[in-house]
Amino acid sequence: MKKTVTVAVSLFLLLASMEIWSADNTDPDLVLVTGEHWMAASDKQKFAYLFGIGNMLEIEQAMQINAPTEVIRQHSIVPVLIEGLSNNTLAEIKELLDKWYAAKSDQAKRPVIETLYVEFALPNVSISQN
């Protein structure tokens, strides 16, 4: 039951955050948010996206609590994003993304989640050698 509620809440949060992006868009499909979307978005939309990502990370982390660490690290971006971004506020992460996409306009089609992972989270993670 608890897992069903968690999944339902996760889906609600994802759809709610995506609704903000699609409010100006007539395409009903969910989109993978790229730098193009990011740079055209308002601050409200950017914070809603980051808030949604943060909520999803918290829910995923709670659902993976009993999984062995090495399995999680091999098959999930969640621990890397949580550890790698944990020292930043949402405002700081928004600013990092704003500056990164402004400086790298040739990367505008790159998904925001990929940029968060590769450029900002992964460099801040200590990966233990087993």
Q: Which residue type is seen at 32?
A: L
**What are the residues whose beta carbons fall under 8 Å from the beta carbon of 36, sequence distance 6 or more?**
108, 109
What gap in Å lies between CA 69 and CA 86, rounded to an integer? 18
Model pLDDT, residue 20: 47
Average pLDDT over residues 84-92: 95
DSSP of 16-54: HHHHHHHTT----S----BHHHHHHS-HHHHHHHHHHHH
pLDDT given for residue 27 in this prediction:
58
Q: What is the pLDDT of residues 24-33, one digit of tens each?
A: 555 557 789 9
Mean pLDDT along residues 9-34: 57
**pLDDT, position 126:** 81
C-alpha gyration radius of the chain:
15
